[in-house]
């Protein structure tokens, strides 16, 4: 593994870029309940491919602990159960098929799927947040998140018409447990180890600092900016995935 653990310093240009990226991603996650990996994964993958997917899952899970605890009274346990059931099944399936296609092929497939979902939403298709849609979103999110580190769009789209506090708290809890499920699946597949944990841990303080600075973002979301943010972040995720597929 190259990167932090093999010599480059956190005070180097590369290190500063990684710190700033992780800090901003923590701010986005704390504001919305999703988006950490969407923002951080593509940048850190360019700086050092060793960040994806294991260390990214470690950092994102740590930030989600803070989000879930800060608004634990707003976590919808029923929502969480159905979504995690889907995630558990999908993570196991993803671990089995991880070597069947190239990372670029997976990224292209998921990027097109997210674009389709965004187009349908903009066309007026309204998804109701209920057990069946949460389970389905958990399935797709778990598959995407385990294989590409970007699993937020399916869950965010299901929550685009929900109350901001419910969305934010439940998504943070979902991505916390979902991240642990994905890490376990990668571990069983031999694709996660101590070096991944150490690399994620080295950057974790900066991600948590970003979360602590996210109060303004939560206030913005609470003013009714949920759906535009969900669409914008999902569209950006699709672009990132498609960029990965063709580069």
**DSSP per-residue codes, the chain:** --SGGGT--TTSHHHHHHHHHHHHHHHHHHHHS--HHHHHHHHHHHH-GGGTTHHHHHHHHHHHHHHHHHTGGG--HHHHHHHHHHHHHHHHHHHHHTTTS-HHHHHHHHHHHHHHHHHHHHTT-----SHHHHHHHHHHHHHHHHHHS--HHHHHHHTTTS-HHHHHHHHHHHHHHHHHHHHHHHHHTT---HHHHHHHHHHHHHHHHHHHT-HHHHHHHHTT-HHHHHHHHHHHHHHHHHHHHT-
Q: In the chain, pLDDT over 90 holds for what percent of residues?
A: 33
Residue 10 confidence (pLDDT) above 70? no
Closest CA to 143 of 41, 236, 53: 53
Closest CA to 153 of 91, 233, 225: 233
Mean pLDDT of 28-35: 89
CA atoms within 13 A on the CB side of 206: 20
Cα separation, 126 vs 97, whole angstroms:
32
pTM of the model: 0.83
Query: Which carries the bigger pLDDT value, residue 200 or residue 237?
Result: 200
> 171-229: per-residue pLDDT in tens?
999 999 988 887 888 888 888 999 999 999 999 999 999 999 998 888 877 776 677 88
The alpha carbon of 150 is separated from its chain's Cα centroid by a whole number of angstroms, namely 5
Cα separation, 103 vs 150, whole angstroms:
12
> 125-142: per-residue pLDDT in tens?
778 889 999 999 999 888
Cα separation, 77 vs 173, whole angstroms:
9
């Amino acid at each position: 593994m190259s990167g932090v653990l093999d010599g480059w310093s956190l005070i180097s240009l590369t290190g500063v870029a990684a710190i700033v990226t992780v800090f901003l991603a923590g701010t986005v996650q704390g504001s919305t309940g999703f988006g950490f990996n969407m923002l951080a994964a593509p940048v850190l993958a360019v700086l050092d491919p060793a960040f994806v997917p294991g260390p990214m899952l470690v950092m994102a899970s740590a930030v989600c602990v803070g989000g879930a605890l800060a608004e634990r009274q707003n976590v919808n346990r029923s929502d969480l159960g159905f979504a995690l059931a889907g995630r558990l099944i999908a993570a196991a399936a993803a671990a089995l098929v991880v070597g069947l296609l190239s990372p670029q092929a997976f990224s292209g497939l998921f990027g097109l799927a997210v674009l389709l979902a965004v187009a349908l939403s903009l066309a007026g298709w309204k998804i109701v947040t209920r057990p069946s849609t949460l389970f389905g979103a958990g399935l797709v999110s778990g598959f995407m998140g385990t294989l590409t580190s970007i699993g937020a769009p399916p869950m965010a789209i299901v929550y685009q018409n929900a109350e901001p506090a419910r969305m934010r708290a439940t998504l943070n809890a979902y991505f916390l447990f979902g991240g642990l499920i994905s890490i376990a699946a990668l571990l069983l597949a031999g694709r996660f180890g101590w070096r991944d944990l150490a690399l994620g841990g080295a950057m974790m303080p900066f991600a948590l600092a970003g979360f602590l600075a996210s109060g303004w973002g939560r206030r913005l979301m609470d003013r009714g900016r949920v759906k535009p943010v969900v669409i914008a972040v999902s569209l950006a995720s699709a672009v990132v995935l498609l960029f990965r597929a063709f580069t």
